[in-house]
Structure 1
Amino acid sequence: MQPINILLVEDDKLDVIDIKRSLDKLNIFYKLTNAKNGEEAITLLNDQINPDNGPLPDVMLIDINMPKVNGFEVLEYMCDREEFRKIKRFILTTSGDRTDKATAEKLGISGYIIKPLKLNSPTAMDAFNLMIDLLNFKKN
Protein backbone atom coordinates (compact mmCIF):
# COMPACT_ATOMS: atom_id res chain seq x y z
CA MET A 1 0.00 0.00 0.00
CA GLN A 2 1.35 3.42 -0.98
CA PRO A 3 1.33 6.19 1.63
CA ILE A 4 -0.84 9.23 1.08
CA ASN A 5 1.55 11.95 -0.02
CA ILE A 6 0.49 15.09 1.89
CA LEU A 7 1.87 18.60 1.50
CA LEU A 8 1.01 20.65 4.58
CA VAL A 9 1.38 24.39 3.97
CA GLU A 10 1.49 25.72 7.51
CA ASP A 11 3.72 28.18 9.35
CA ASP A 12 2.62 27.30 12.90
CA LYS A 13 4.67 24.47 14.44
CA LEU A 14 1.90 23.53 16.90
CA ASP A 15 -0.61 23.14 14.08
CA VAL A 16 1.85 20.89 12.25
CA ILE A 17 2.09 18.71 15.37
CA ASP A 18 -1.74 18.61 15.68
CA ILE A 19 -2.10 17.43 12.08
CA LYS A 20 0.51 14.71 12.56
CA ARG A 21 -1.23 13.53 15.74
CA SER A 22 -4.60 13.40 13.97
CA LEU A 23 -3.16 11.36 11.10
CA ASP A 24 -1.37 9.00 13.50
CA LYS A 25 -4.43 8.60 15.72
CA LEU A 26 -6.42 7.40 12.72
CA ASN A 27 -3.66 5.00 11.64
CA ILE A 28 -3.31 6.69 8.28
CA PHE A 29 -0.25 5.63 6.28
CA TYR A 30 1.17 8.92 5.05
CA LYS A 31 4.25 10.85 4.00
CA LEU A 32 4.04 14.45 5.18
CA THR A 33 6.05 17.33 3.78
CA ASN A 34 5.71 20.72 5.49
CA ALA A 35 6.08 23.99 3.61
CA LYS A 36 6.33 26.93 6.03
CA ASN A 37 4.71 29.39 3.64
CA GLY A 38 3.07 29.61 0.24
CA GLU A 39 6.27 30.54 -1.53
CA GLU A 40 7.95 27.38 -0.27
CA ALA A 41 4.90 25.31 -1.29
CA ILE A 42 4.97 26.65 -4.86
CA THR A 43 8.70 25.90 -5.10
CA LEU A 44 8.12 22.33 -3.86
CA LEU A 45 5.28 21.81 -6.35
CA ASN A 46 7.35 23.09 -9.25
CA ASP A 47 10.27 20.87 -8.25
CA GLN A 48 8.00 17.82 -8.10
CA ILE A 49 6.68 18.29 -11.63
CA ASN A 50 9.87 16.47 -12.58
CA PRO A 51 9.26 12.80 -11.56
CA ASP A 52 12.94 12.45 -10.61
CA ASN A 53 12.29 14.84 -7.70
CA GLY A 54 9.47 12.74 -6.25
CA PRO A 55 5.74 12.58 -6.85
CA LEU A 56 3.33 15.47 -6.62
CA PRO A 57 1.25 15.40 -3.44
CA ASP A 58 -2.04 13.53 -3.42
CA VAL A 59 -3.45 16.04 -0.96
CA MET A 60 -2.59 19.53 0.25
CA LEU A 61 -3.65 21.07 3.55
CA ILE A 62 -3.24 24.82 3.18
CA ASP A 63 -3.39 27.57 5.79
CA ILE A 64 -4.74 30.90 4.54
CA ASN A 65 -2.75 33.40 6.61
CA MET A 66 0.96 32.88 6.03
CA PRO A 67 3.99 35.06 5.38
CA LYS A 68 5.30 35.78 1.86
CA VAL A 69 2.56 34.03 -0.17
CA ASN A 70 -0.83 33.29 1.44
CA GLY A 71 -3.06 30.27 0.93
CA PHE A 72 -5.34 31.98 -1.58
CA GLU A 73 -2.34 32.87 -3.72
CA VAL A 74 -1.19 29.24 -3.63
CA LEU A 75 -4.66 28.11 -4.75
CA GLU A 76 -4.73 30.71 -7.54
CA TYR A 77 -1.31 29.58 -8.73
CA MET A 78 -2.44 25.95 -8.79
CA CYS A 79 -5.67 26.73 -10.68
CA ASP A 80 -3.66 28.21 -13.53
CA ARG A 81 -1.62 25.03 -14.07
CA GLU A 82 -3.01 21.79 -15.47
CA GLU A 83 -0.40 19.61 -13.72
CA PHE A 84 -1.72 20.61 -10.28
CA ARG A 85 -5.47 20.28 -10.85
CA LYS A 86 -5.70 16.65 -9.67
CA ILE A 87 -4.28 17.44 -6.24
CA LYS A 88 -6.99 17.45 -3.56
CA ARG A 89 -6.79 20.78 -1.72
CA PHE A 90 -8.14 21.48 1.74
CA ILE A 91 -8.03 24.77 3.60
CA LEU A 92 -6.98 24.42 7.23
CA THR A 93 -7.43 27.81 8.92
CA THR A 94 -8.54 29.77 11.96
CA SER A 95 -10.77 31.91 9.73
CA GLY A 96 -14.47 31.20 9.93
CA ASP A 97 -15.20 34.19 7.70
CA ARG A 98 -17.80 33.40 5.00
CA THR A 99 -15.93 35.48 2.45
CA ASP A 100 -12.75 33.46 3.00
CA LYS A 101 -14.66 30.22 2.61
CA ALA A 102 -16.42 31.44 -0.55
CA THR A 103 -13.12 32.59 -2.03
CA ALA A 104 -11.51 29.22 -1.29
CA GLU A 105 -14.46 27.35 -2.80
CA LYS A 106 -14.18 29.40 -6.01
CA LEU A 107 -10.54 28.30 -6.15
CA GLY A 108 -11.51 24.62 -6.20
CA ILE A 109 -10.96 23.35 -2.67
CA SER A 110 -12.16 19.93 -1.56
CA GLY A 111 -12.86 21.02 2.01
CA TYR A 112 -12.57 23.80 4.59
CA ILE A 113 -11.48 22.97 8.15
CA ILE A 114 -11.36 25.48 10.98
CA LYS A 115 -8.60 25.14 13.57
CA PRO A 116 -7.67 24.56 16.29
CA LEU A 117 -8.44 20.87 16.18
CA LYS A 118 -10.00 19.88 19.51
CA LEU A 119 -11.44 16.51 20.44
CA ASN A 120 -15.24 16.27 20.50
CA SER A 121 -15.68 19.58 18.68
CA PRO A 122 -17.30 20.12 15.27
CA THR A 123 -13.87 21.20 14.00
CA ALA A 124 -12.33 17.92 15.13
CA MET A 125 -15.16 16.01 13.45
CA ASP A 126 -14.44 17.91 10.24
CA ALA A 127 -10.79 16.94 10.55
CA PHE A 128 -11.64 13.29 11.11
CA ASN A 129 -13.97 13.33 8.11
CA LEU A 130 -11.10 14.81 6.12
CA MET A 131 -8.87 11.93 7.15
CA ILE A 132 -11.54 9.44 6.05
CA ASP A 133 -11.76 11.28 2.72
CA LEU A 134 -7.99 10.97 2.39
CA LEU A 135 -8.21 7.24 2.90
CA ASN A 136 -11.04 6.84 0.41
CA PHE A 137 -9.24 9.05 -2.09
CA LYS A 138 -6.10 6.90 -1.96
CA LYS A 139 -8.09 3.67 -2.41
CA ASN A 140 -9.73 4.94 -5.61
Structure 2
Amino acid sequence: MTEHREGEPIEILLVEDNPGDVRLTKEAFREGGINNTLHVVSDGEAALDFLFQRGEYEDATRPHLVLLDLNLPKLDGHDVLERIRADDDLHRLPVIILTSSESERDVVESYERNSNAYLTKPVRPNDFIDLVQTFEEFWLTLVRLPPRPE
Protein backbone atom coordinates (compact mmCIF):
# COMPACT_ATOMS: atom_id res chain seq x y z
CA MET A 1 0.00 0.00 0.00
CA THR A 2 1.22 3.45 -0.82
CA GLU A 3 0.40 6.44 1.27
CA HIS A 4 -0.81 9.68 -0.26
CA ARG A 5 1.92 12.29 -0.39
CA GLU A 6 1.21 15.98 -0.46
CA GLY A 7 1.21 17.33 -3.99
CA GLU A 8 0.24 13.99 -5.58
CA PRO A 9 -3.22 13.77 -7.12
CA ILE A 10 -5.94 12.38 -4.90
CA GLU A 11 -7.85 9.65 -6.72
CA ILE A 12 -11.61 9.87 -6.19
CA LEU A 13 -14.26 7.50 -7.48
CA LEU A 14 -17.62 9.22 -8.00
CA VAL A 15 -20.49 6.75 -8.31
CA GLU A 16 -23.32 8.85 -9.71
CA ASP A 17 -25.96 8.20 -12.37
CA ASN A 18 -27.20 11.80 -12.73
CA PRO A 19 -25.17 13.59 -15.45
CA GLY A 20 -26.09 17.00 -14.01
CA ASP A 21 -24.70 16.07 -10.58
CA VAL A 22 -21.54 14.69 -12.23
CA ARG A 23 -21.08 17.99 -14.08
CA LEU A 24 -21.63 20.05 -10.91
CA THR A 25 -19.21 17.87 -8.95
CA LYS A 26 -16.52 18.23 -11.60
CA GLU A 27 -17.09 22.00 -11.68
CA ALA A 28 -16.83 22.27 -7.89
CA PHE A 29 -13.59 20.27 -7.79
CA ARG A 30 -12.13 22.34 -10.63
CA GLU A 31 -12.99 25.58 -8.80
CA GLY A 32 -11.52 24.21 -5.55
CA GLY A 33 -8.11 23.92 -7.18
CA ILE A 34 -7.09 20.80 -5.27
CA ASN A 35 -4.99 18.37 -7.26
CA ASN A 36 -7.30 15.37 -7.77
CA THR A 37 -8.38 12.88 -10.38
CA LEU A 38 -12.11 12.22 -10.51
CA HIS A 39 -13.13 8.86 -11.96
CA VAL A 40 -16.85 8.49 -12.67
CA VAL A 41 -19.04 5.41 -13.00
CA SER A 42 -22.82 5.52 -13.31
CA ASP A 43 -24.08 2.35 -11.61
CA GLY A 44 -23.34 0.06 -8.69
CA GLU A 45 -22.03 -2.85 -10.76
CA ALA A 46 -19.55 -0.57 -12.57
CA ALA A 47 -18.44 0.79 -9.18
CA LEU A 48 -17.56 -2.71 -7.98
CA ASP A 49 -15.87 -3.54 -11.29
CA PHE A 50 -13.78 -0.37 -10.91
CA LEU A 51 -12.87 -1.06 -7.28
CA PHE A 52 -12.12 -4.74 -7.85
CA GLN A 53 -10.32 -3.93 -11.14
CA ARG A 54 -12.49 -6.24 -13.25
CA GLY A 55 -13.42 -6.16 -16.93
CA GLU A 56 -12.89 -2.80 -18.60
CA TYR A 57 -11.49 -1.46 -15.31
CA GLU A 58 -8.74 -4.06 -14.82
CA ASP A 59 -6.11 -1.29 -15.08
CA ALA A 60 -8.06 1.21 -12.95
CA THR A 61 -6.22 3.08 -10.24
CA ARG A 62 -7.49 2.32 -6.77
CA PRO A 63 -9.05 5.49 -5.34
CA HIS A 64 -8.20 7.21 -2.08
CA LEU A 65 -11.93 7.61 -1.41
CA VAL A 66 -15.37 7.02 -2.88
CA LEU A 67 -18.30 9.42 -3.25
CA LEU A 68 -21.29 7.09 -3.46
CA ASP A 69 -24.87 7.82 -4.44
CA LEU A 70 -27.47 5.48 -2.95
CA ASN A 71 -30.07 5.47 -5.70
CA LEU A 72 -28.18 3.71 -8.48
CA PRO A 73 -29.15 1.43 -11.34
CA LYS A 74 -28.19 -2.27 -11.30
CA LEU A 75 -26.96 -2.32 -7.68
CA ASP A 76 -27.84 0.28 -5.07
CA GLY A 77 -25.33 2.21 -2.98
CA HIS A 78 -26.05 0.31 0.23
CA ASP A 79 -25.12 -2.97 -1.48
CA VAL A 80 -21.98 -1.42 -2.97
CA LEU A 81 -20.96 -0.16 0.47
CA GLU A 82 -21.60 -3.56 2.04
CA ARG A 83 -19.38 -5.29 -0.53
CA ILE A 84 -16.60 -2.74 -0.02
CA ARG A 85 -16.67 -3.26 3.74
CA ALA A 86 -16.66 -7.06 3.35
CA ASP A 87 -13.46 -7.05 1.30
CA ASP A 88 -10.12 -7.44 3.10
CA ASP A 89 -8.34 -5.04 0.73
CA LEU A 90 -11.03 -2.35 0.54
CA HIS A 91 -12.64 -2.30 3.98
CA ARG A 92 -10.68 0.80 5.13
CA LEU A 93 -11.44 2.78 1.96
CA PRO A 94 -13.27 5.98 2.98
CA VAL A 95 -16.79 5.98 1.52
CA ILE A 96 -18.85 9.15 1.69
CA ILE A 97 -22.52 8.87 0.81
CA LEU A 98 -23.57 11.74 -1.47
CA THR A 99 -27.26 11.38 -2.20
CA SER A 100 -30.53 13.22 -2.63
CA SER A 101 -32.20 10.97 -0.07
CA GLU A 102 -33.16 12.65 3.19
CA SER A 103 -34.64 9.42 4.55
CA GLU A 104 -33.67 8.73 8.15
CA ARG A 105 -33.70 5.04 7.25
CA ASP A 106 -31.05 5.63 4.57
CA VAL A 107 -28.91 7.62 6.99
CA VAL A 108 -29.07 4.91 9.65
CA GLU A 109 -28.47 2.09 7.17
CA SER A 110 -25.48 3.91 5.67
CA TYR A 111 -23.82 4.30 9.05
CA GLU A 112 -24.73 0.74 10.06
CA ARG A 113 -22.86 -0.39 6.95
CA ASN A 114 -19.92 1.79 8.03
CA SER A 115 -20.01 4.75 5.68
CA ASN A 116 -17.63 7.50 6.77
CA ALA A 117 -20.12 10.33 6.24
CA TYR A 118 -23.58 11.04 4.84
CA LEU A 119 -24.14 14.15 2.74
CA THR A 120 -27.50 15.17 1.31
CA LYS A 121 -27.35 16.89 -2.08
CA PRO A 122 -28.92 20.33 -2.01
CA VAL A 123 -31.48 21.13 -4.70
CA ARG A 124 -29.95 24.46 -5.80
CA PRO A 125 -26.83 24.10 -8.03
CA ASN A 126 -24.85 26.76 -6.16
CA ASP A 127 -25.56 25.05 -2.84
CA PHE A 128 -24.47 21.74 -4.36
CA ILE A 129 -21.18 23.29 -5.49
CA ASP A 130 -20.69 24.76 -1.99
CA LEU A 131 -21.29 21.31 -0.46
CA VAL A 132 -18.75 19.64 -2.74
CA GLN A 133 -16.17 22.34 -2.03
CA THR A 134 -16.71 21.98 1.73
CA PHE A 135 -16.33 18.21 1.35
CA GLU A 136 -13.18 18.76 -0.68
CA GLU A 137 -11.66 21.12 1.87
CA PHE A 138 -12.31 18.74 4.75
CA TRP A 139 -11.65 15.33 3.19
CA LEU A 140 -8.85 16.29 0.82
CA THR A 141 -7.05 18.97 2.81
CA LEU A 142 -7.59 18.37 6.53
CA VAL A 143 -8.20 14.63 6.84
CA ARG A 144 -5.32 12.19 6.62
CA LEU A 145 -6.49 9.41 4.34
CA PRO A 146 -5.43 5.79 4.83
CA PRO A 147 -3.08 4.20 2.32
CA ARG A 148 -4.76 2.98 -0.85
CA PRO A 149 -5.17 -0.73 -1.31
CA GLU A 150 -2.87 -2.03 -4.05
Query: What is the TM-score when the length of structure 1 is the normalising length?
Result: 0.86
Q: Could you say which structure has the higher helix fraction?
A: 1
Q: Which runs of 4+ in 1 moved over 4 A?
A: 123-126
The alignment-based identity, stated in percent, is 27
Q: Counterpart in 2 of 1:43? A: 49
Decide whether the 8 Å contact of 2:95 with 2:115 is kept in 1. Answer: yes
Structure 1 unaligned regions, length at least 5? none
Aligned length: 135
Aligned to 2:79: 73
Per the TM alignment, residue 137 of structure 1 is displaced from its structure 2 partner at its CA by 3.3
Partners of 1:21 and 1:107 in 2: CA distance: 30
Deviation at 1:29, TM superposition (A): 0.9
Structure number with greater CO (CA < 8 Å, separation at least 6) is 2
CA contact (8 A) 2:28 2:130 kept: no
State TM-score, norm by structure 2: 0.80
Unaligned runs of 5+ in 2: 1-6
Per-residue Cα deviation, 1:64-111 (whole angstroms, up to 9, x for no partner): 001100100100101110211221111111101111011001111121
- Write the distance in 2 (CA, Å) between the matches of 1:54 and 1:74: 17
Q: Secondary structure at the match of 2:101?
A: coil
Change (3 A) 1:54 1:124: closer
Question: RMSD in angstroms over aligned alpha carbons?
Answer: 2.1
Deviation, 1:125, is 5.0
